[in-house]
Structure 1
Amino acid sequence: MTDRDIYLPVAAQPSVETLVGLGQLAEAHGYERLWLPETWGRDAVTALSSIARETTDVGIGSSLLNVYSRSPAVIGQTAATLQEVADGRLRLGLGPSGPRVIEGWHGAAFERPLRRTRETIDIVKRVLSGDTVEYDGDIFQLSGFRLRCEPPSPAPPIDAGGLGPKSVELAGRFADGWHAILFTADGMADRLGDFDRGTELGDRDRGSQRVTLSVPCCALEDRERARELARQHVAFYIGGMGTYYRDALARQGYEATASEVFERWNNGERETAVAAIDEELLDALAVAGTPEECRDRIGEFEAIDGVDALNISFPRAAERADIEATMAVLAP
């Protein structure tokens, strides 16, 4: 059975308490896990700590902490602390992000993202084991670090984000799961093949790994508003989040549309970029419309073979009432 998670919104939220309240509401609705991204608003760690203290059963997770702005040792310490605060409910999501974020926001060179992700996962696992970290990698050479507190038991699983074939294969080979964002059903089938190949290369137990697909959702009585909010959201990811989502959509068979949206968005033609997301593509990537439509359509994503959890996310411009309505409609 496919679990349903919530991808908490960070855009335009007035306070940490707002995020805590949404987390509590999701827990009351029976969602399995709350994921929180870290972009340009509040840091994910502080917010997740606050949510963990004010909930009791729902899992929490980062989706995703980038592997450039914190050292692997700090990420390991952070994961150990969050696991303690959450009483064992944490899944740690890691990923490289992209050059626009890493170079533009953090002033770091976006070099060897796959290798850096792999080495970070290796080091974080060693930190969480409680053993002294001795590591001689291509990027990191570490010696002597060890937690001076009890290591978490159990250690939190580590998921990796990825869009392209090699990054998804890496997730299967070295991580405990894969976080997928903005994929069609056919696109997921292709990348799941990469994930499974990675699992085999790493001699991992596929049954213990977890694939989570994030799906933009908006279920409102006002159908046109729901679809327009979702369409704006998809256009923003393709046009405004660097080249990765554009390229990922192109690999899924929508190269012309991906290029058009990207070019128009970056030329300042935001309205025409949004309009380029046609009905077929919107329905391939998102669940948006009336409550009845959305209850029916969410099952199409849940039926994708190999997906263990659906992450219900919300359009960037959705208001609190839109989020709460959608959360209620799509509750497990």
Structure 2
Amino acid sequence: MTDRTLHLPVAAQPRVETLLEYAVRGEDCGYERVWLPETWGRDAVSVLTRVATETDEIGLGPSICNVYSRSPALLAQTATTLQEIADGRLRVGIGPSGPAVIEGWHGDDFDRPLRRTRECLEVMRAVMSGETVDYNGELFTLGGFRLRCDPPDEPVPIDVAGMGPTAVELAGRFADGWHATVFTPDGLRDRLEDLRRGATLGDRDPDDVRTTLSVTACALEDGERARELVAGHVAFYVGAMGTYYRESLARQGYEDVATEIATAWGSGDRQRASALAAELLDELGAAGTPDRAREQLARFEAVDGLDAIAVSFPRGASSEEVRTTIEALAP
């Protein structure tokens, strides 16, 4: 059975309390976990601390914390602290993000993203073991320190985000899970083969690597409004967030329309970009009336090897539209 989780909006929300309200509503509706993205809005750690203290049972975690703006040791310290606050409900998602965020927002070089992700994962595990850390990697060298507090009673699972074959293979080989986004059901099946190959290379059971797919969703009685919102969201990511999403869609057989979306967005024709993105909605999202959105989610849930769907939300959705969707698509 595929779990239903909640991926809080990446778009700016009125207040931290709004995000907290969504999380509490998610817990009340039976979602298994609440994920919080971190881009250039509120930081994930502060908000997740509030969520941890105001909820009782729902799992929580960032999806994702990038591996450039915090050192691996600080990520491990943060995970250790959040795990304590959350009474063991934490699962961490890390990944390289992309050059648009790392270079444009953090002012860092987007250098060797996969190597950095792997070493970050290894350092985090070493730090959270509670033992003295002696690590010599290609990018990071640490030695002589150990946590100045008790390590987590149970290891904090560390998931890795990625879209390309090599990134997904890395997740299968080294991580506890893989976070996927902007995939069709068939595209996801192809990447799951890479995940299984990575697990085999790492001498691991593929079933031990948990796969979570973020699906942009909007379920409203006004189905056309819901579809317009999700189409605009897809257009933004393909057109404005660098080449990663476009390249991923090209690998899934949608190179022409992805290129057209990016071209339209780049020329300032957002309306055309959204109209083109609407052609992909039935493959990439779950949008429309509640019944239609639930049917579309079911197509993803039918993918063998998918462990959880994270219900995500389009950038332009109002708070009320987010709340309505949370309730309509609850487990």
TM-score w.r.t. length of structure 1:
0.98
Q: CA deviation at 1:18?
A: 1.0
**Conservation of the 8 A alpha-carbon contact between 1:116 and 1:139:** yes
Runs of 4 or more consecutive aligned structure 1 residues displaced over 6 Å after TM superposition? none
How many pairs does the alignment contain?
331
Match of 1:40 in 2: 40
TM-score w.r.t. length of structure 2:
0.98
**Conservation of the 8 A alpha-carbon contact between 2:218 and 2:325:** yes
Q: How does 1:224-303 map to 2 (within 5 A)?
A: 224-279=224-279, 281-303=280-302
Q: CA deviation at 1:2?
A: 0.3
Match of 1:163 in 2: 163
Match of 1:85 in 2: 85
Q: CA deviation at 1:331?
A: 0.6
Q: CA deviation at 1:41?
A: 0.6
Output the amino acid matched with 1:49. Answer: T
CA distance in 2, matches of 1:28, 1:114: 37
Match of 1:327 in 2: 326
**Conservation of the 8 A alpha-carbon contact between 1:130 and 1:151:** yes
Output the amino acid matched with 1:38. Answer: E
**Conservation of the 8 A alpha-carbon contact between 1:80 and 1:155:** no
Q: CA deviation at 1:112?
A: 0.6
CA distance in 1, matches of 2:30, 2:74: 32
CA distance in 2, matches of 1:230, 1:10: 13
CA distance in 1, matches of 2:73, 2:205: 26
Q: Secondary structure at the match of 2:277?
A: coil
CA distance in 1, matches of 2:112, 2:208: 28
CA distance in 1, matches of 2:39, 2:150: 31
Deviations 1:303-331 (CA, angstroms, capped at 9, x unpaired): 01110000000111001111111111111
Deviations 1:198-252 (CA, angstroms, capped at 9, x unpaired): 1011112322220000001111010110100010011111111111001001110
CA distance in 2, matches of 1:205, 1:120: 22
| Structure 2 unpaired stretches of 5+ | none
Q: CA deviation at 1:291?
A: 1.1
CA distance in 2, matches of 1:192, 1:139: 28
Output the amino acid matched with 1:291. Answer: P
Match of 1:195 in 2: 195
RMSD: 0.9
Q: CA deviation at 1:294?
A: 1.6
Q: Secondary structure at the match of 1:82?
A: helix
Q: Secondary structure at the match of 2:166?
A: helix
Deviations 1:88-122 (CA, angstroms, capped at 9, x unpaired): 00110000011111111111111110000000000
Match of 1:16 in 2: 16
**Conservation of the 8 A alpha-carbon contact between 1:10 and 1:42:** no
Q: CA deviation at 1:10?
A: 3.6
Identity of aligned residues (%): 60
Q: Secondary structure at the match of 2:253?
A: helix
Q: CA deviation at 1:177?
A: 0.4
CA distance in 1, matches of 2:12, 2:138: 40
Q: CA deviation at 1:12?
A: 2.6
CA distance in 1, matches of 2:278, 2:23: 32
Q: Secondary structure at the match of 1:323?
A: helix
CA distance in 1, matches of 2:216, 2:145: 40
Output the amino acid matched with 1:282. Answer: L
Match of 1:204 in 2: 204
Match of 2:68 in 1: 68
Output the amino acid matched with 2:139. Answer: I
CA distance in 1, matches of 2:22, 2:295: 24
**Conservation of the 8 A alpha-carbon contact between 2:179 and 2:214:** yes
Q: CA deviation at 1:17?
A: 1.0
Output the amino acid matched with 1:321. Answer: E
CA distance in 1, matches of 2:96, 2:81: 22
Q: CA deviation at 1:296?
A: 2.2
Q: Secondary structure at the match of 2:305?
A: coil
Kindly indicate whether residue 230 of structure 2 is the aligned counterpart of residue 220 of structure 1: no
**Conservation of the 8 A alpha-carbon contact between 2:235 and 2:274:** yes
Q: How does 1:162-181 map to 2 (within 5 A)?
A: 162-181=162-181
- After superposing the two structures, state which structure 1 stretch, 199-208 or 237-246, moved more: 199-208
CA distance in 2, matches of 1:167, 1:77: 25
| Structure 1 unpaired stretches of 5+ | none
Change in CA separation of 1:278 and 1:10 when aligned onto 2, cut-off 3 Å = closer
Deviations 1:258-283 (CA, angstroms, capped at 9, x unpaired): 1111111122111111111243x210
